[in-house]
Amino acid sequence: MNLESNIASILISEEQIKDKISEIAKQISIDYEKSDLLMVGVLKGSMVFMSDLMRAMNINTKIDFMCVSSYGASTKTSGQVRILMDLREPIDGKDVLIIEDILDSGVTLSYLVDVLRARNPKSIAVCTLLDKPSRRKSEVQLKYRGFVIPDEFVVGYGLDYAEDYRNLPYIGVLKPEVYEI
């Protein structure tokens, strides 16, 4: 399959992503300079962003992952969140930074923040590459935001449709005929 033939337009270029990651990493490095930071990646979409972000930081960080879902195979959230994979270690007393690829409805991320807050971290904050505020159903406090985007179905740079398109080096708008079957 030629992935790029299904892209209507490039919304955010590879170069823009690199520049924004550098900017965010610099601020995280300052903010957590004297901290024992734990970055929690929300799988699978955050994997690419989190990898590039932590390599751009100049502080030590530990990492862990969670896999949560409220979408299933749909393009819209079901509103019901399920934890498919939990953290491997306790987070009591740790500074936790949740790394997400996209903040859309906020349902999943709001649930995740509440779950992790109940585990008594020293602090908890959220970093997302993409923010789509027009679709918000639950409020989420963001400490770090990459790009605010319009209500388009986007793929690439870790974001997928039916597990495809994650490897594109940019954020692209998927042609509606691909997912409106």
- Residues with a catalytic annotation lie at 104
Query: Could you give the CA distance from residue 181 to residue 177 in angstroms, rounded to a whole number?
Result: 7
Q: How far apart are the first and last CA of the chain?
A: 17
Q: Give SS3 for 90.
A: coil
- Among 134, 137, 164, 168, CA closest to 149: 134
Q: Tell me whether residue 141 is exposed, middle or buried, using C-beta atoms within 10 angstroms of its C-beta: 0 to 12, 13 to 18, 19 or more.
A: exposed
